[in-house]
Structure 1
Amino acid sequence: MNDIEAALAATVVADVQVSPDGERVLYVTSSVATEKDTPPAGTLGLVDAAGGTPRRLTSGSAGDRWPRWSPDGRRVAFLSDREKRGSAQAYLLDLRHGGEAVRLTGHDGGVLALEWSPDGARLALLVAAAGDEPREDHDETVAGEDVGKASLWLLTVPDDAAAGGALPDQHRLSPADRHVGGILDYGPATFGWAPSGDALVATFTASPVFTDQLPAELVTIDLQGGVRGLGTVETFSAMPRFGPDGATVAVNAADGALPALFTLQTVPAGGGSAQLLAPGHPGSFFGFSWLPGGEILAILQEGQQQRLAVVDPAGGPVRDAIAPFDRPGCVTAFSVSADGRRVAFVRADDTSYGEVYVADLGSDTPARRLTDLNPWTREQDYGEVRELSWTSFDGLELQGLLVLPVGYQKGRRYPLLLQIHGGPMGAWLHELRRYPCLDWSQFLARRGYAVLLPNPRGSSGRGTAFLSGIAGNYGEPDFEDLMSGVDAAVDLGVADPERLVVGGWSGGGYLTNWTITHTDRFKAAVSGAGIANWVSFQGTADCRSAFDRYFGVVDEDPETHWLHSPIRYVKAATTPTLILYGEQDARVPPSQGHELHQGLRARGVETRLVLYPREAHAVVERDHQADLLYRVIDWFDTHLSGQ
């Protein structure tokens, strides 16, 4: 098995949940790839927090996910599509008696998320809309109409659920004309219970369509369906949660307007102004959980790492939550015990896709690793990953990662890939990424390349001002940031200035397109799901409102959109360019790739456009991911060697 095949067989942790007493840890594993026409599979695992051999709670080819402990720790509710693949229902597993899980729901559209009430008597369910009924007399569709909305339901959990019995009582709670939650491909965890159990907090939007998400309504809902508005928030998935006293709600949202995303804020549960937590902090917050004493535990990205940090809503300093690790890495998910003393979390690093750990909050004792999901990675050769800093054209200090070739020899220069991350509100971190086809660095490092993974302005992990540094001029200062990063790699003596290639996906595809139309210093380029024409993009993509925050409303200011469109400058392009798209991509429609492909062909520039059927914005099928990686490597090798 070669390195690409091994990576596509990797196991990743999708969720982690510590038991209320902190003694056991549930986690969900899945593969980094799916098979053709097959929904993703998932398996529930259980391990003692003290260590030991993990055991499977579920098995088979179904998609089991979203496990949640009952407040007494005796039962687990989870979602599974074992009855109908692609449509999950809620199930209940009693850990006291063992046996098979019992199905609790039969919603036509399936269930997207669930949460236990504080007393364990109910489950709040996020229920997907049922699919369209077959139409015998016609097969046309009307764009934008009858978009299914997710709704909030309440289910009374039976004390003695039994397989084959009647489904428990459940009823809809949220209004029919509102969508509960955010963009479903960003995760549906957008509701939470009040500590008293008499209300929930959630976000409402007009529909699940990306462009309808901004802004979202923050609301509380009582158990009779009464709705109280708490204002609006700029967010894709706010994950609102009541504080332990029930008087405050916390959200993950933008400071003002997008792109200043990833701040923590609190709002009075009875209504009032939002308070920004840790204002001016030079980092980004991703997910959080209240602690019993009123502080907040959150994932904090600073630079190229993500760690667990404690935030004091009263204004105290942000501090480390657990003992530091001896190598850089990235926490991607976590869960806290009921007493707030123990945390289970998933952590990846430069040679790990992520393992389950447990630690005691505030302790100097190092975290314990509980799983070993990909032991084969210890047999792989990985290029050394170094932190790199440099100064851009205007004096701004920038950061990124430099991946050295396997077998690197100081004093020797190597071909360099400039790989640009997407978003643009993302960042390269110390981790092996969940989708190998989106991070080419280690595959190329094994083939003799150095790889620069830069975090230009507009990236997360450097605070609000840095995130907003490309509003109104996306593509201009960040392009200069990228070029100065390449210069830094050359000045280090690592990169050969005559053997440079460039590529990226999504926002990285856009900046690749901008690069090939503004410089000829690269020998080859790979543009994945990139924007070529902002004017046509805003008329065809599902995320128009997000980029209104960068360039303004397109019909009010088409000139700014056109000014920042790579296709406007295509006559300057000379770089051979491979263009890749998912055929079903609504985020960046393949029409963008066709525009670039035709533009380059008309100028006599070597180019190839590859479309992957059934794929959306992320390529997930195993064969497609493999094909993509082999094409990327071959394209770069061919144009650097001339063979």
Structure 2
Amino acid sequence: MDLIKQLLALKVPDQLSLSPNGQQVTYTAKTKHDHKPKDTHHNRSIWLADTRSEKSSRRLTNGDFNDRDPQWAPDGQTIAFLSDRGIRGKSCAIYLVRAFNGGGGGDDEGKEEQRPKAITPGDSEQDISKYRFSPDGKHIFFIARPAKTAAAQAREEAGDDAQVWGEEEEREQRRFAHLYRVDVETGAVEAVWDSKVEVVNFALGDDGTEVAVVTEKSAHIESEFLHGCDITTFRLGGAKGLKLERGGRRRGERSVHLPRKLYDPIWCGQTLYFLAYNVPEASSTGLAVYAVDLSPEGQTEEGDKLKYRKVAYGEENCAQPGLRKAGGQVLVYVHHGMADQVRLLDGTILFSQEKSIFSYDAVAIPSNGSGNNNNNNEEERKEILMVVATGDINNPTEVFTVMNPKITTPSLTQLSDHGASFTTRTLAQDATFITCPTLDGKETVSALFLTPANTATATATTTNNTPPNGQAPFPTYVSIHGGPYYRITNTADSHDPVTFYAPFLLSAGIAVLIPDYRGSSGRGQRYASYAAAGPGAYYGTTDEPDIAALTQHAITLGLADPDRLAVGGWSQGGYLSYLSAVRGGGVYHGLGWRWRCAVPGAGVSEWDSMVLTSDIGYTQAEPAGCLWRLDRADVRTRQGSALWAFKEAVENNNIPPVLMVHGEQDPRVPVTQAWGFRRAMEEAGLAFRFVTYPREGHFIQETKHLEDLIQRVVGFVKEHLL
């Protein structure tokens, strides 16, 4: 099996969930890039492992369906998960299955006692986006968008389906998602919140008698930017159950409004925690932890109004989606520079490494490690047991138990072995983090430099530079991540498609440099907020120069060959690849070197049209600016647009050969962005290749398309660097 097929066949563990006693962990296994063959459905499976037993993972479901998001019932005997078992690729229901200790391979699923049971209608085409057990295990709360009504389907079939802005929900062309709960024993479903607003998230109180619901005005993707969101807390218990009180209010209802969206609400004690932007009304300022005091002391003078405040992170590092509760403590997933960490709210570091944490979970167990939480000694001190899914460029992502968190170097016990077939191959000889000043001297920026283990091809060309190890500098592909509020550390898997290419470039003897430019995560509000500077002040002003600075630093260190440099990226990285191409490379900044080729993927070539056509145009306008807010003579939005710099670049002979790749159905960065640059290249008579992928959106998900993409990109880079 060649390397492409071998890597695309790997299963990646995700959505980790620990049993209440910490003795077992369940998780989802999926394909590496969530890909699948054309005209097929996603096949994911649920796995189970013993947290104290090395390589003990075994399949709980057979992998013939889209089984995902497993969660433990409070009794520790049953696991819930979502699946499309009723109607493949269409339905979504909550299923329950008994956890088992023996067997493997999902073979026991055929037995009656192991056969998953649907507790919501198995053939329902509703979309369930989140669910949680009540603390007593008697109910499961879930957010679902109802399936289309017969009347709406009839109008659609008759062609009477005009889309009227602001009236989609009323005409049932876009349905509100509501909060429901289902009785685990009887399967009876009742609405908890079914008002005419979109439920996007929720959190349950510690005893299950209260709930916090997060709502937005509309189901439209830009509603959070236009209208923000509301948090409403209310009580569930009492004789009235879920019924509304007089005036349409719920029992004990209190609320607070945020100007943008929030992430990961979690209720702990008398406090509701969540993630929101450092500047709540500016989405390009990074994330921090906020809290709402739900105690009587936290009430405002209005009584039914709540207040929120920032309580942790966001100054020198960045909180990331992944809040967890272990006992009475809240855990936070943190990007700290190039390290991934799990911390407590007070800053205590539980786990830290300069490798990615793909998923994690934690529970509090007695300090004797027994996992028996039924101890009568309520004063017994608890400790945190943690599991993580992690890997690096040479080691596929696996599930590990973190033993003795809080110590400098905790021991890890590997529980899964999905990458067993890959462990004999080494792609990178070294993974080195490099740091240098920005060209304007205002910041320090970092990057990850991956040195290929296969250097036979890489050292064939001599240069004037001599690196410390005596080898010639490497041909280098500068791989720019998307976002911009994101960053990539040493990883086998990430949510950014730039990781598609790294293994294959390294195997060809080409080094990979992954810059962490300004606007990225990991360094707090100031660093992230460069992306909020407004039109003309970020795009093309600080981001692309940071790419050049880090590339120059790799050259200075003797790592990168200045005569063999390529640049590429996806989404935001695709935009920076277009801009880097027209600027030519270091020559634009007086550094001398040039790009030999560029590979923009799903990138932006002109920001004014991007703001007008993207599905999240308001969000794109925050750093880019937008036409309707500017005076006619104001041309600042052109600063970061590759097409506005194209004519001058042609005159200066700056533009290298370009390979453009894009999904034809991309709503985020419409394919017209690539069309425009292709037209410019063709008219100018410059060397280019242009590839679009039918049916694909912002990310490529069909297996054959992925294989083609990897082969084309790696072949193109090899053609120009080797």
Q: What is the TM-score with the length of structure 1 in the denominator?
A: 0.90
Structure 1 counterpart SS, 2:548: helix
For residues 370-427 of structure 1, what are the alpha-carbon distances to aligned partners after superposition, in whole Å with 9 as ceiling and x for unaligned? 1111012212221221111111112221101011122446330222211110001111
Whether the 8 Å contact between 1:551 and 1:561 is mirrored in structure 2 is: yes
Report the number of matched residues.
Answer: 613
In structure 2, C-alpha distance between the alignment counterparts of 1:300 and 1:436, rounded to whole Å? 18
Structure 2 counterpart SS, 1:628: helix
Report the equivalent of 1:128.
145
Displacement after TM superposition at 1:51 (Å) = 0.8
Displacement after TM superposition at 1:448 (Å) = 1.9
Report the equivalent of 1:185.
none
Match of 1:516 among 581, 586, 610: 581
The one-letter code of the counterpart of 1:248 is: T
Aligned ranges for residues 32-111 of structure 1 at < 5 Å? 32=32, 33-51=35-53, 53-86=56-89, 87-95=91-99, 98-106=113-121, 107-111=124-128
Q: What is the TM-score with the length of structure 2 in the denominator?
A: 0.81
For residues 217-263 of structure 1, what are the alpha-carbon distances to aligned partners after superposition, in whole Å with 9 as ceiling and x for unaligned? 2222543263532221533x5111111x2x21101111112112221
Match of 2:265 among 236, 240, 249: 240
Match of 1:337 among 329, 342, 363: 363
Displacement after TM superposition at 1:265 (Å) = 1.1
- Stretches of structure 1 that go unaligned for 5 or more consecutive residues are 162-167, 182-189, 313-317
Report the equivalent of 2:484.
424
Change in 2 beyond 3 A, CA 1:377/1:208: farther
- Which range moved further: 92-101 or 616-625? 92-101
**Which aligned segments of 4 or more residues in structure 1 are displaced greater than 4 angstroms?**
360-365, 434-437
Change in 2 beyond 3 A, CA 1:279/1:83: closer
Aligned ranges for residues 8-27 of structure 1 at < 5 Å? 8-27=8-27
Displacement after TM superposition at 1:523 (Å) = 1.6
Report the equivalent of 1:282.
316
Aligned ranges for residues 218-617 of structure 1 at < 5 Å? 218-223=231-236, 224=242, 226=250, 228-232=254-258, 234-235=260-261, 238-243=263-268, 245=269, 247-256=270-279, 257-269=282-294, 271-279=305-313, 281-286=315-320, 287-293=322-328, 295-312=329-346, 318-322=347-351, 328-337=354-363, 339=365, 341-360=384-403, 362=405, 364=407, 366-383=411-428, 384-395=430-441, 396-408=443-455, 410-434=470-494, 438-439=498-499, 440-471=501-532, 472=534, 473-519=538-584, 521-557=594-630, 559-571=635-647, 572-573=649-650, 574-617=655-698
Aligned ranges for residues 158-173 of structure 1 at < 5 Å? 158=185, 168-173=187-192
Whether the 8 Å contact between 1:458 and 1:478 is mirrored in structure 2 is: yes
Q: Percent identity?
A: 27
- Which range moved further: 427-436 or 441-450? 427-436
Change in 2 beyond 3 A, CA 1:353/1:305: farther
RMSD over aligned CA atoms reads 2.3
In structure 2, C-alpha distance between the alignment counterparts of 1:376 and 1:368, rounded to whole Å? 19
In structure 1, C-alpha distance between the alignment counterparts of 2:58 and 2:683, rounded to whole Å? 59
In structure 2, C-alpha distance between the alignment counterparts of 1:193 and 1:436, rounded to whole Å? 32
Displacement after TM superposition at 1:176 (Å) = 4.1
In structure 1, C-alpha distance between the alignment counterparts of 2:13 and 2:264, rounded to whole Å? 20
Whether the 8 Å contact between 2:482 and 2:571 is mirrored in structure 1 is: yes
The one-letter code of the counterpart of 2:284 is: P
Displacement after TM superposition at 1:510 (Å) = 0.6
Displacement after TM superposition at 1:194 (Å) = 0.9
Change in 2 beyond 3 A, CA 1:600/1:541: same
Structure 1 counterpart SS, 2:113: coil
In structure 1, C-alpha distance between the alignment counterparts of 2:470 and 2:213, rounded to whole Å? 55
Displacement after TM superposition at 1:437 (Å) = 5.1
Structure 2 counterpart SS, 1:417: strand
- Which range moved further: 401-410 or 82-91? 401-410
Displacement after TM superposition at 1:155 (Å) = 1.0
Report the equivalent of 1:210.
221
Whether the 8 Å contact between 1:353 and 1:434 is mirrored in structure 2 is: no
Whether the 8 Å contact between 1:209 and 1:542 is mirrored in structure 2 is: no
In structure 2, C-alpha distance between the alignment counterparts of 1:555 and 1:218, rounded to whole Å? 32
In structure 1, C-alpha distance between the alignment counterparts of 2:721 and 2:411, rounded to whole Å? 46
For residues 26-80 of structure 1, what are the alpha-carbon distances to aligned partners after superposition, in whole Å with 9 as ceiling and x for unaligned? 1111112211122322111111111153222111320111111111112222111
- Bigger Rg over Cα: 2
Structure 1 counterpart SS, 2:544: helix
Aligned ranges for residues 615-626 of structure 1 at < 5 Å? 615-626=696-707
Whether the 8 Å contact between 1:220 and 1:230 is mirrored in structure 2 is: no
Whether the 8 Å contact between 1:152 and 1:172 is mirrored in structure 2 is: yes
The one-letter code of the counterpart of 1:173 is: V
In structure 2, C-alpha distance between the alignment counterparts of 1:143 and 1:517, rounded to whole Å? 41
Report the equivalent of 2:368.
none
Displacement after TM superposition at 1:89 (Å) = 0.6
In structure 2, C-alpha distance between the alignment counterparts of 1:233 and 1:441, rounded to whole Å? 39
- Which range moved further: 549-558 or 76-85? 549-558
In structure 1, C-alpha distance between the alignment counterparts of 2:694 and 2:217, rounded to whole Å? 30
In structure 1, C-alpha distance between the alignment counterparts of 2:120 and 2:364, rounded to whole Å? 27
